[in-house]
Structure 1
Amino acid sequence: MKIRVLGAGAGGGFPQWNCNCHNCKRLRAGELRGTRRTQSSIAVSSDGRNWLLFNASPDIRAQLEAFPESHPRTGVRDTGIKAILLIDSQIDHTTGLLMLRESTSPLEIYCSEMVKQDLTTGFPLFTMLEHYCKVSHHPVPLNGEAFTIPSIDDLRIYTHALKSKAPPYSPHRHDPHPGDNIGVIVEQISTGRKLYYAPGLGEIEPHVYGAMQAADCVLVDGTFWQHDEMSRAGICEKRALEMGHLPQSGEGGMIETLSTVPAGRKILIHINNTNPILDEDTPERKTLEQAGIEVAFDGMEITL
């Protein structure tokens, strides 16, 4: 199984266009040892030619241009992206669908019923795309039932609901439903190797922990280092868990959780621009390294 990290940043990327926090300011000035990151998205394939895209960030055009395996190979119009699986309906995971409107066939989109509702009401991308390439929607099961995707050979997908909030624009923002946010297990049928992907993760529920335990690679939420990171940065008073993200540090945090997970690769993705782990020289980054936890970056390639 081949996994390509197209974007490793949280909403706004790194540096964020209007942010002058400690990290963004120093990166622009060349004073931080780290790399720029676009907004989070990955692609997965079993053959290196036909790819399943996870989420479509506002940065999708630049991400695909930097990803040669997705480029046209036959005919005037073509792509290696055969289908799209949406984790949620957040703006930073769906706006890129508008950039894909030039598709010569309907976009094959797999998502939960709740995400479909959001994308036909509060943020009606599906309705808008009907005037361009159109959308072919495929519901994903949340009961652990496996499914496969035509033209994506040798991969079996499982999805489950995560505890989270719908986006602020959603008609049911304050009325959470299963499927507002999902975790995904991708299994290569021929080898049994598994990826667990959950870029937005606010609670380690039993089924989440079970999926992490069974995975060969865990690619999960790395948004914040600590609960009050945003207030410490002088940005807002919202805490990490209020925003649906489990921080890395502290009791019950992501570092402690991953310390009990046997996966050969443990990687953080969806990293907010305020997170000190973006600076490769910080004590926080060294703590991750000592724990055997990697930090995703744009262009990162993983083979299972």
Structure 2
Amino acid sequence: MYIRVLGSAAGGGFPQWNCNCPNCRQVRAGSPHHQRRTQSSIAVSGDGVRWTLVNASPDILQQFQLFPGTWPKEGLRGCGIESIVLVDAQIDHTTGLYMLREKGSPWPVWCTDPVFEDLTRGNPILHLLEHYCGVARRELPGNGASFHPEGSESLDWRALPLLSAAPPYSPHRNSPVPGDNVGLLIRDPASGKRVFYAPGLAEVDDAVFDAMAGADCVMVDGTFWTDDEMIALGLSSKRARDIGHLAQSGPGGMIEQLSRLPRHVRRVLIHINNTNPILDDSSAQRAILAAAGIEVAFDGMEIAL
């Protein structure tokens, strides 16, 4: 199984276009300790040739240009990506669908019923695409049943409902339902290796922890360092948990949760907000992660299991 990190930042990317926080100032100034990042997305393959896209970032065109696995191989048009899996309906995970409208046939898009509802009602992007390439919607089972997206049929995919938040435009923003946000457990039957992917995660319940503990690699929510990060900077009145993210630090935080995993499990944080001090690889916070054996994803990162 092959995984390519196309984008590793949270919504807005890094630096965020209108942000003047210390991190964004440093990356614009050319700091060697701050690496630019695009918005969160990965590609998954069973053979390293045919790929499935997980989440369509607004930065998708830039990401495709930098990843040869997506380039057309034969004929005048083509793409190494054969289908798209959406873990939620958030803008930073779906807006890239607009950029992929030139495809000559409908995109196979795998999503849960609540996500499909959001993308045909609250933000009807799937209806809009009917005027272009169209969408062949595939139902992503929310009951743990396996599914096999085009481009990675040799892999066994399963979705796990997560405790997180639906987008602000969702009909069930204030009344969450199972399937608003899912984690993905992907297994390679040939090797038995597993990866667990959850870029938005507000709570590690027993089911989520079991999935993480049974994986060989976890790629999980790295959005904020502290629960009050945005409040402390004067950028928001909401805590990390209020918008569906579990902070790394503090009691019960992501560092503590990852420390409970078996030692062989590779731990990677992804979907990192521009305000998070771990984006400075010389920071004390980054040293804490390194001491705990936790990696920080970056654009172009490749994982083979």
Offset at 1:173?
A: 1.2
- Partners of 1:23 and 1:32 within 8 A in 2: no
Q: Which runs of 5+ in 1 are unaligned?
A: none
Contact 1:10/1:270 (<8 A) preserved: yes
- What aligned pairs does 1:242-261 form with structure 2 within 5 A after superposition? 242-261=242-261
Q: Which amino acid aligns with 2:234?
A: G
Query: Shift in Å at residue 6 of structure 1?
Result: 0.2
Query: C-alpha distance in 1, partners of 2:160/2:219?
Result: 15
Q: % of aligned pairs identical?
A: 56
Q: Note the residue ranges of structure 2 that are not aligned, 5 or more in a row.
A: none
Please state how far the C-alpha of 1:265 moved relative to its aligned partner: 1.4
Contact 2:2/2:302, CA 8 A, preserved across alignment: yes
The within-5 A match list for 1:229-248 is 229-248=229-248
For 1:298, the aligned partner's letter is: D
Q: Distance in 2 between matches of 1:264 and 1:180?
A: 27
Instruction: Indicate yes or no: 2:149 matched with 1:165.
Output: no
Q: Is 2:56 the counterpart of 1:56?
A: yes
Aligned position for 1:130: 130
Counterpart of 2:155 in 1: which secondary structure? strand
Partner deviation per Cα, 1:34-55 (whole Å, 9 max, x = no partner): 2000000000101111101000
Query: 2:278 — aligned with what?
Result: 277
- Report the AA paired with residue 207 of structure 2: H
Letter in 2 for 1:77: R
Tell me if structure 1 keeps the 8 A contact 2:224–2:240: yes
Residue identity opposite 1:6 in structure 2: L
Which residue type is aligned with residue 45 of structure 1?
S
Alignment correspondent of 2:210: 210
| Distance of 1:120 and 1:102 partners within structure 2 | 20
TM-score of the pair, normalised by structure 2:
0.98
Does the 8 A contact of 1:141 with 1:160 survive in 2? no
1:150 shift after superposition = 3.9
Aligned-pair distance for 1:75? Answer: 0.9
Q: Deviations over 1:264-289 (max 9, x none)?
A: 31000000000000000110000000
Q: CA deviation at 1:78?
A: 0.7
- For residues 141 and 266 of structure 1, the distance between their equivalents in structure 2, rounded to whole angstroms, comes to 26
Counterpart CA distance in 2 for 1:9 and 1:150 is 26
Q: Distance in 2 between matches of 1:27 and 1:232?
A: 21
Aligned CA-pair RMSD: 0.9
How much does 1:174 deviate? 1.1
Match of 1:113 in 2: 113
Partners of 2:38 and 2:152 in 1: how far apart?
25
The 4+ residue runs of structure 1 with deviation greater than 4 A are: none
CA drift at 1:205: 1.1
Task: Note if 1:297 corresponds to 2:298.
Answer: yes
Residue 182 of structure 1 aligns with an amino acid whose one-letter code is V
Indicate if the aligned counterparts of 2:289 and 2:295 stay in contact, CA closer than 8 A: yes
Deviations 1:230-255 (A, max 9, x none): 01222112111111100000111000
1:39 alignment partner AA? Q
Hey, what's the Cα distance between the residues in 2 that align with 1:300 and 1:254?
A: 21
SS state at 1:223 partner: coil
Question: SS state of the match for residue 36, structure 1?
Answer: coil
Contact 1:23 1:273 in 2 (8 A): yes
- Measure, in 1, the Cα distance between the counterparts of 2:160 and 2:265: 22
TM-score (ref. length: structure 1): 0.98
2:280 maps to a residue whose letter is D
Contact 1:158 1:186 in 2 (8 A): yes
Show the 5 A alignment for 1:95-110. 95-110=95-110
- Give deviations 1:197-239, integer Å, cap 9, x for gaps: 0000000011100100000000000000001100122211211
Question: Does the 8 Å CA contact 1:2/1:301 hold for their aligned counterparts?
Answer: yes
Q: Which residue of 2 aligns with 1:7?
A: 7
- Distance (whole Å) between structure 2 residues aligned to residue 7 and residue 149 of structure 1: 20
Inter-partner Cα distance in structure 2 for 1:235 and 1:31: 23
CA contact (8 A) 1:16 1:24 kept: yes
2:194 is aligned with 1:194: yes
C-alpha deviations, 1:46-105, integer Å up to 9, x for none?
111110100001000000110001100011111100110001000000000000000011
Asked whether the 8 Å contact 2:37–2:298 carries over to 1, the reply is yes
Distance 1:237 1:171 in 2: 22
- When the two structures are aligned, how many residues end up with a matched partner? 304
C-alpha distance in 2, partners of 1:31/1:83?
37
